[in-house]
Every structure is written in C-alpha cells, then in structure tokens.
Structure 1
C-alpha cells in the first residue's frame, strides 16, 4: 500500500511479499480516458478515491513532483512514472544527455559507435546557447529551423523560421501572455534544424508514434509494443509556407483544428499498414534496416539517461516516441513523451490504446503471475534486458555475429489474444506442478 509518510510505529495490514499473488488490487487514476476504462474493467482491481490507501497509481507528473518524496510505499506498490523522467522527455535535457552520451561513446568505443547517436537533428538550447546557434545558423544560410518550447506538448508554441530577425523578434517579445499558465517559462526553447526532406505519402508529411515500456533503468529492461501509428498532416507538404502548421506539424491536437479535418477518417495509419506500404515500395530488406535503426534510437536514448534517471523499483514508464523518417529512409528522433495521449481520436485508436494499456498492466504484473523470464507478453516484446534480447528462442542474449536479430516486431501482426491465452495457460500449468 502507499500512504503519506508517518511515524515508524504506524501499524497497517500485514505486508505481502513483493511477488506474492494478490486477490484484490487497489488503484488510483488521475486520468479520465482510456486508462481509467482499462483499470475499472480489470478483474480483482478496485478503485480508491481521495485519500484511500492504494497499491497502484496511474498518476500525472504534477502529483509526482509534489508528493513522491513524501509518500511511503510498500514493496509491491507501483506508479507509472520515474521520479526524474524529464531527463529523457524535456526537449532541452534530452539534447544535453544525448550529447554527453555521444562523447562518452566516442571515448570508450570509437567514432563509429558514436555515430549511432546521430539520430537527433542539430539542436541548441535557447537562450543559453544563442551565440553557438548563431554561428551554426550563419554556416548554412537559407535552411529552415524550428523553435520548440521545452516544457510543452501538442504543438503549442512551435514555429519555423529562416531569418535571424525572427529570433530577435521572439527574444524581444519575451514571455507571451497566452502561455503564462504553463509550468515552464516560454523563454526556454530549443532551436532545431528542421528536416527539410521528410518522407511523404500522398504528398503529406507524417511522423510515427511508437510505444516503449521501461520497467527498470538499472538494469535497463525495455519492452517494445507491436502496434503504433503514423500521424499525417492534413495539408500537402511544401517549404513555401513555413507558417502553416497544418503542413508542418503532425500532432493530432493541431490537425483536428483544420477546417477540412474529418474526425471519422482522421489522420492516422496503423503502423502495420505503414510497414506493408514501405515493404511494397522499397522491399523487405530496406524496411528491416529502417526498423532496426529505430530500435537503435530507443535503446541509445534510454542508455543516455540510464545513469541519470533514478531507478526505483516502484516505478515503470510507458513512453511515446515520436519518429520522423526522411526520404533516405533515415529515422530521426523528434521527442519522447512521458505522458503520451491516452485519449482516443477514433474507435480504432481506442482499441489500440486499450490493448496497449492492458498489456502494460500484464507486464507490471500486480497479480504476481509472471515468472520474470518472459520474452513476450501480449503485444509487447522484450527488446533489452541488461543487453540485447535475441529473437531466437533460448539464451542467445548477446550478439556474436552479424546474423543476430533483436527481439522486436514493431509493425508485425499483433496476435496478442492468442499469445496471452497460451502464456497464462502455461503459467497455470507450471503453478500446478
């Protein structure tokens, strides 16, 4: 159970061992969307209101900031964020951590290994790196840059520019009145080189939302979900109108305000459809390389914060990775979200998020059913367990030759119901033995 810290003499119910099966799991949920539906439908889980003691809390990050350090948690208790998740999910911190990690890799493993971190567009923190940015800007006159506020989401506060004058105007404006309520002051932005040659489908730009579940940072244990989606802009791509957000920003929050947006049709493809499209156009081999490059992004970005994020056994985190692909089939990391939207934009989207969240809860395993040796649970595949996990059955968790395949199946068929049925049947058989 979890409660505010009290004196050592406080007596509660007898403690259960960490992995002992539980008949009743008390949960709290700060959100009112898909996750609340999933939690309420889960057998043996009971919702707790207000100040009641809980075993599981799907909290928001503001609760974490205000309460984490003052909350006592028994061994079995779980919450859905790491204490300082922002080291990965704040735009300025991820830049700092990736730059540091790249230098470390170059020192320890050489330049070739360090190039595996070259998946983030050239980025400067503003205003602290303004003069470095100006140097870079003048080296490449005429290219497009994008300004993003470090602590906001859903496309708010973003703009594109090609002239230093636009930045000077921005600096003079200082804090914009409509953004005052946000937790982060608007002066803190990143200026990032804009990818001017995005891969287009039907003339439109898109990015990918991919779900990565981290159960532990030390050791690093990472699961990758098979489902995800491509988010398309509503308007055909052009560099002639850099002020048009409907062309350049793929966030659903932005696109759904377009005058001709169709809520039934939406602007999303399931990632399976996207993978089939690319395979038909470029061949299976090129697509395997692209998806392996994305696997590299997930792992290297997490390794860059592995020693910085406080790895607490009570914590797990479901991240939403946003990936852009260019015309050369090179993937670029745009950002990582600690609170990926769980609000559904369509029935298909609702079903995807329900699957994702049900399988997340299976892996968190409050019920204590898993052995801890599983390589697949529902739609999740274990891709890293203190080292790469092999797609081949057995203990081949260390690559010994070029034929090593990581245990990832992003964009493949998600036959999760069949797999879960077999998994839990097998676990029940083992328990009987």
Structure 2
C-alpha cells in the first residue's frame, strides 16, 4: 500500500488519505490492477474508507462494482439501471417500508396483530414501539386513545420523513394537534406526522436523557442475513431532563443537529458515549444478569423489526443496507425503538466520532467480502 499522510478538515478531524495514484486519473490498466472499482456520491467518512481501502480505485464511469448511492439515485436511476453481475449498491429499492416512520408503524402494528392472533402475549413479547398513530389518517383513532390517558400525559409529534430533529414537537393538550390538523391558507392538506405517547421515564445518566445509535447491516431479506455492529454510540441531550417544559428541545431531543444550535455547544465536551462504555456503565449499576437481558431484548427488537418487513422489501442481490437504529432505554433498561434510518449520518462531529464511523464502515465492507467474491471471478476471466 502506498504511503499516506494526514490532512485536516475544516472541523479539525484527522483523516488518512492516499497521496499517490489517488491524486491523478488512472489508466484502465492501473484500474484493473486495483480490481475493485467504486463510485461514491458522498464526501464524508465513507469516501475516506473507500479511498484508503487497499485494492480499491475510484472510477467516474459506469464500470463500477461498488456504488455508494444517494436516495435520489434510487428514486431516479435504480429502475432504469441495468446491473451487471458484479455491481453492488448501498440501498434496497423500497427500504422506506422500514425507515419511513409511518410505514414502520404500519408494519409494526400488522406484525403485532399477527402475533396476537397466533396466541402471543404481545403486551410482554411484542411491545417495543410506544402507542403510535399516523396523522391525519388516524386522527380520530388517536383522539379516542388520547382521552384514555391522564391529562398530564406528554405526546410527541414527528414528521414521517423528517431527520435531525426537524419538525418534532411535544404537547399535552389536544388543541395543539387540532391547530396542526387544520388546513393552511392555501387549502393543502397537513403533512403526515406520527404521534406517539412520550416515554416519560427515560434512563438518565448525569440527569440527562440519551438515545443510542446502533448500526445494522442487512445483506439479504430473503433469506434474512443481518449483522449488528458492536460499536455504536449514545447521544445525550444538551440539558438535564425535566418534564416541566415540553418546549425545550435541548432537554427532550438528543439529535446532534439540535445540540449544535446551543450557544455553548462543544463537540468535544462529551455529549456522546461509545456503546461499550454505556454497557459497562449499565453493568456497574445493575449487574451482568440485568445487562445481558437488556442486550437480548435489544437483539429481539432489531430482529422483529426486520422480520416485520421481510416479505415487503424488494429482494435484490445487488443491494445491501447499513441501517441506523435509534433506541431509547427507559429506567427499567427496556429498549424502545424510536426509528430506523436508511441513511444514517456518516459525517463526523469529532475525531472520536470519525474513528468510530470509519471502523464501522470498514468492517461493513469486510462482511460484504467483495474482494474475495469478485477478485476470484476477475482472475478466472484472465
């Protein structure tokens, strides 16, 4: 492998880059020596991983074997693209069945109903998403449910396709939803949202709420082949938890994009913990037996959520997906699924964050085992 030097991005993250052949266009002969040709539509950590992977070379043509595509490419190009035997992309065609909040809820409820019909006690065996409704379609069902709860119950509203905490708000009174439900002055319908009962008893560390990002690689839905990466991270809210105010995003939301808007935000201050560190903390507080049960429950959440869409996702051997699962633990260490991301952020907020994401992505490619599968085929054709 050619020698490398270090460069720094604008946010002072040290990234290794190849300084020889990567800096100049390669001839077809040089590219063949590299054997694995890739394209990458992003310029963050995944680009660095692919650029620095031994035996890989970037191409601007259609002769790629690995393409890190965007959602826009999936929408506009996937159906028209004629895949060769050795081409692989990073999304399934209809991954929204799992990753759009309204579809996630719909498929969860369908799977839960099927479990209940088969005799499963769903209250204990299949209960990992809070009570949820898709608005405006299920508005009247939500109102019926709302009136069953105490008047001080907190609910949370999320846009079905939102990200980075945008559009999320909490409320206690039905009038806030009624105002949202009204048509705007142009007469257009309200945008679809998911409303959920708010998990009022989150596990707190240092008085702060947090959620956990877990990376799950799926290479096939039929048969189901999935891997959970050991590394992930916990994201802490900027401010200490309290239910006195439902309007303070710094208290209730853990998104880095939200925390960055705080006047005193410092990316190195410690708003993230690694997943191993979090579970070591859990073990010190609750013992190995309790933590082992929590980890088993967490694995079940991931497995059951994937199974709920197993027969819906369009199976394609040219596709894989790295999902970002967002999990919240309550005070009893019960895991609750908040959402699943088809395009989890690969932009690093700190040096530690970059190194973690770099390892996750590098290990992902190891699991895909592209070199062994395709280089062997290439050599057999020589």
Query: What is the TM-score when the length of structure 1 is the normalising length?
Result: 0.76
Aligned match of 1:98:
108
Residue 175 and residue 247 in structure 1: after superposition, are their counterparts in 2 closer, same or farther (change >3 A)?
A: farther
Measured in 2, the distance between the counterparts of 1:231 and 1:173 equals 36
Answer whether contact 2:183 2:190 (CA < 8 A) is retained.
no
User: In the alignment, is residue 62 of structure 1 matched against residue 72 of structure 2?
Assistant: yes
Residue 175 and residue 282 in structure 1: after superposition, are their counterparts in 2 closer, same or farther (change >3 A)?
A: farther
Render the CA deviation track for 1:118-160: whole Å, top value 9, x for unaligned: 1000000000000000000011132000000001110000000
Which of 194, 202, 215 is the matching residue for 1:190? 194
Measured in 2, the distance between the counterparts of 1:197 and 1:97 equals 26
Aligned match of 1:80:
90
Answer whether contact 2:182 2:190 (CA < 8 A) is retained.
no
Residue 114 and residue 70 in structure 1: after superposition, are their counterparts in 2 closer, same or farther (change >3 A)?
A: farther
Aligned match of 1:317:
321
Residue 90 and residue 156 in structure 1: after superposition, are their counterparts in 2 closer, same or farther (change >3 A)?
A: same
Residue 86 and residue 186 in structure 1: after superposition, are their counterparts in 2 closer, same or farther (change >3 A)?
A: farther
State the 1:366 CA deviation: 1.6
Aligned match of 2:356:
352
Task: Report 1:230-379 matches (<5 A).
Answer: 230-368=234-372
Measured in 2, the distance between the counterparts of 1:211 and 1:76 equals 25
Q: How many residues align?
A: 342
User: In the alignment, is residue 125 of structure 1 matched against residue 129 of structure 2?
Assistant: no
- Computed over aligned residues only, the root mean square deviation of the Cα atoms, in angstroms, reads 2.0
Aligned match of 1:16:
none
Measured in 2, the distance between the counterparts of 1:151 and 1:130 equals 18
User: In the alignment, is residue 46 of structure 1 matched against residue 46 of structure 2?
Assistant: no
- Structure 2 residue ranges without an equivalent (≥5): 1-27, 375-382
State the 1:232 CA deviation: 0.1
Measured in 2, the distance between the counterparts of 1:268 and 1:186 equals 35
Residue 186 and residue 358 in structure 1: after superposition, are their counterparts in 2 closer, same or farther (change >3 A)?
A: farther
Which of 23, 37, 41 is the matching residue for 1:30? 41
Answer whether contact 2:326 2:340 (CA < 8 A) is retained.
yes
Answer whether contact 2:135 2:194 (CA < 8 A) is retained.
yes
* SS across alignment from 2:290: helix
* SS across alignment from 1:287: helix
State the 1:105 CA deviation: 2.0
Measured in 1, the distance between the counterparts of 2:93 and 2:42 equals 19
Answer whether contact 1:266 1:345 (CA < 8 A) is retained.
no
Aligned match of 1:410:
none
- Structure 1 residue ranges without an equivalent (≥5): 1-12, 14-20, 371-433
State the 1:114 CA deviation: 7.3
Answer whether contact 1:323 1:335 (CA < 8 A) is retained.
yes
Aligned match of 1:152:
162
After TM superposition, the runs of 4+ consecutive aligned structure 1 residues lying more than 6 A away are none
* SS across alignment from 2:226: strand
Measured in 2, the distance between the counterparts of 1:94 and 1:369 equals 33
State the 1:217 CA deviation: 0.1
* SS across alignment from 1:242: coil
Task: Report 1:171-210 matches (<5 A).
Answer: 171-172=181-182, 174=184, 187-210=191-214
Residue 268 and residue 117 in structure 1: after superposition, are their counterparts in 2 closer, same or farther (change >3 A)?
A: same
Answer whether contact 1:174 1:187 (CA < 8 A) is retained.
no
Query: What is the TM-score when the length of structure 2 is the normalising length?
Result: 0.86
